């Protein structure tokens, strides 16, 4: 047996006597819930403001290209779906990259790819196959390198306000979707699709590159990025969570991609689409921030997550199929926007409350990896259902897509309810 003198220090790099453990712990936790953490939150929120703003503006761009260039709407949805699916399909690789080079360098690479993808898209608008490369792959890779650092780095800076911090980060994304949706609509009308892509590319570089410099891990924190925890496959809760998340993510991008097209069925006004999409994004912003607050304060992450999926499902099944005027469309966009938006900010918190907050980064990339099928196929399935029903503007033609979206949300919710019940069989308790 090796002597105590020959033993190596622990991996944290801190080698102290037991008497100094409390002092070391206090230093390691001194960063929690301080202003420095809110700087990271602000930087991550601003990055997602731009990134998610462009992601959710694709619905406007694809509708314009379908009208002016005669591209198939189904094919265009595959371009957008490729970008969103890469955001999650590369999570495992990005998680390893974060462990190797850190949050900041990963986020910087993401910002560079985001701007490059959109800037190059401006030169290939006339070639649909090239958009798969520029917006679908380059922009999609940038999204993968951006979303993981932005969504997990702030978690290491908070204990009491972890839910609120996550809500603000993801709320920035949906607020960006609202603002960028209006901006993109104006740009398309004034300078055309090609220059809109180029301007979006420059905006991504201008905002995301400086913000990435502020996305980092606490220097004195002992909770370095953990390795991927593949052994979780043996745990029932992990199986339920990965299945529930993978199914629930199928319809998440259906409303924002379809609202600009669906708006033609309820109003002849050219501004209806952008108004409805802006309302959906603002509701999503509120949902993400308030859901994070409720998860911290009184409901808990799992309860809040199940409520968000319920709102997604009931709005798609009971409201969307019967929307025949602008008032009902606004009602649908508010309820669905709150539900879909809050899902994004609550899922990392649900992982933390189920497996322990320090394990989130070791588990979340694996779970997000399973979302690739939902992100890539979810919206095209809805588009295909719409075209099978017909290609007119009658609201009834959208019902198959709405029923599909609602059903997927409820199936995902049943898996989350099972996890909630396994954590606590008490109905009225924070969980």
Asked if residue 95 lies in contact with residue 147, where contact means CB atoms within 8 angstroms, the answer is no
In 70-160, which residue ranges form alpha helices assigned H by DSSP? 73-89, 91-101, 103-121, 128-131, 140-152
Quick one: pLDDT at residue 27?
53
DSSP state of 323: -
User: How far, CA to CA in Å, does 237 sit from each of 233, 240, 355, 368, 418?
Assistant: 9, 5, 9, 15, 8
Residue 26 covered by a domain: no
Quick one: pLDDT at residue 15?
38
In 249-271, which residue ranges form alpha helices assigned H by DSSP? 254-266
Residue 63 covered by a domain: yes
Quick one: pLDDT at residue 232?
92
Spatial distance between the Cα atoms of 128 and 299, rounded to a whole number of angstroms:
46
Total number of domains in the chain:
1
Domain that holds residue 383: 33-423
Quick one: pLDDT at residue 331?
94
Spatial distance between the Cα atoms of 21 and 11, rounded to a whole number of angstroms:
15
Residue 87 covered by a domain: yes
CATH of the domain at 267: 1.20.1250.20
Spatial distance between the Cα atoms of 26 and 5, rounded to a whole number of angstroms:
27
Quick one: pLDDT at residue 151?
87
Map tokens 């230093």 to a residue.
27
Residue 345 covered by a domain: yes
Residue 21 covered by a domain: no
Residue 12 covered by a domain: no
Residue 287 covered by a domain: yes
Spatial distance between the Cα atoms of 90 and 106, rounded to a whole number of angstroms:
13
Residue 327 covered by a domain: yes
Strands (E), 163-263: none
Q: What is the pLDDT along the chain (431 residues), one digit of tens a residue?
A: 344 343 343 444 333 444 444 444 455 565 675 778 899 999 999 999 999 999 988 888 888 888 888 788 778 888 988 898 888 889 889 988 988 898 999 999 999 999 999 999 999 988 888 999 999 999 999 999 999 899 888 888 887 788 888 889 988 988 898 899 889 989 998 999 999 999 999 999 999 999 999 998 876 554 566 788 999 999 999 999 999 999 999 998 888 878 877 887 777 776 788 888 889 989 998 998 899 888 888 888 999 999 999 999 999 999 998 888 888 999 999 999 999 989 988 998 899 899 987 888 889 889 988 998 888 888 889 888 887 776 666 777 888 889 999 999 999 999 999 999 988 777 667 76
């Amino acid at each position: 047996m090796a002597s105590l003198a020959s033993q190596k220090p622990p991996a944290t790099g801190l080698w102290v006597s037991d008497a100094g453990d409390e002092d070391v712990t206090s230093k390691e936790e001194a960063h929690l819930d301080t202003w420095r953490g809110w700087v990271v939150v602000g930087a991550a929120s601003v990055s997602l403001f731009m990134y998610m703003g462009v992601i959710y503006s694709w619905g406007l761009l694809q509708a314009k290209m379908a009208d002016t260039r005669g591209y198939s709407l189904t094919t265009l949805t595959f371009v957008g779906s490729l970008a969103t699916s890469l955001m999650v399909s590369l999570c495992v690789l990005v998680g390893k990259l974060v462990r190797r080079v850190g949050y900041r360098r990963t986020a910087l690479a993401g910002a560079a790819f985001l701007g490059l993808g959109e800037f190059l898209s401006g030169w290939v608008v006339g070639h649909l196959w090239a958009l798969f490369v520029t917006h679908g792959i380059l922009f999609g890779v940038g999204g993968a390198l951006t979303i993981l650092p932005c969504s997990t780095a702030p978690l290491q800076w908070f204990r009491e306000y972890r839910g609120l911090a996550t809500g603000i980060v993801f709320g920035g994304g949906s607020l960006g979707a609202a603002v960028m949706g209006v901006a993109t609509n104006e740009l398309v009308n004034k300078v055309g699709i090609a220059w809109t892509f180029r301007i979006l590319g420059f905006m991504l570089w201008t905002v995301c590159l400086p913000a990435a410099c502020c996305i980092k891990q606490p220097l004195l924190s002992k909770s370095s990025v953990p390795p991927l925890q593949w052994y979780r496959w043996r745990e029932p809760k992990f199986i339920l969570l990965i299945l529930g998340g993978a199914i629930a993510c199928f319809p998440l991008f259906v409303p924002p991609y379809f609202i600009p097209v669906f708006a033609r069925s309820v109003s002849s006004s050219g501004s209806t689409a952008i108004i409805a999409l802006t309302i959906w994004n603002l509701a999503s912003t509120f949902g993400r921030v308030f859901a994070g607050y409720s998860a911290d304060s009184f409901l808990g992450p799992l309860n809040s997550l199940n409520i968000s999926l319920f709102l997604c499902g009931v709005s798609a099944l009971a409201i969307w199929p019967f929307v025949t005027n602008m008032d009902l469309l606004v009602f649908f966009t508010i309820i669905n926007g709150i539900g879909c938006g809050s899902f994004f900010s609550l899922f990392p918190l649900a992982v933390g409350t189920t497996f322990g907050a320090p394990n989130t980064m070791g588990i979340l990339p694996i779970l997000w990896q399973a979302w690739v099928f939902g992100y890539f196929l979810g919206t095209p399935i809805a588009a295909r259902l719409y075209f099978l029903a017909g290609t007119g503007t009658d609201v009834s033609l959208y019902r198959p897509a709405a029923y599909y979206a609602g059903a997927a949300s409820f199936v995902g919710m049943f898996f989350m309810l099972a996890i909630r019940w396994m954590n606590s069989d008490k109905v009225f308790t924070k969980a």
